[in-house]
Structure 1
């Protein structure tokens, strides 16, 4: 997924929205990605599904820019 920066950004946004604190996931996105946790895999799956929905509509997936 490191080659698809837009998909990775979408997965990060979903991860942060779904797992906003240590109560939900004990580690942040970068560590979850490195270890391939279930939380990370769920966020990637959600990003892939969102991309498919947007592509079916012919829309461009717009994501916030991270500094």
Structure 2
């Protein structure tokens, strides 16, 4: 994950949205990443799933007539 900054940012956004306080997760994102907590692993899994959906041409609506999916 340290080499994929976009995936890490997505995982952090998901982590922060799903676990906004200590009531939801015992540690913040940085510490959860360091210890690979279940909360962190779930956020990374969600980020990977989101990336695959966002990159799927079949799911993406065509915004412009000349736009093509490669």
One fold, TM greater than 0.5? yes
TM-score by length of 1: 0.84
Give the alignment's Cα RMSD to 1 decimal.
Answer: 1.3
Question: For this pair of structures, how many residues does the alignment match?
Answer: 59
Structure with the greater alpha carbon radius of gyration? 2
TM-score by length of 2: 0.81
Higher relative contact order (CA 8 A, sep 6+): 1
Unaligned runs of 5+ in 1: 60-67
Unaligned runs of 5+ in 2: 61-70
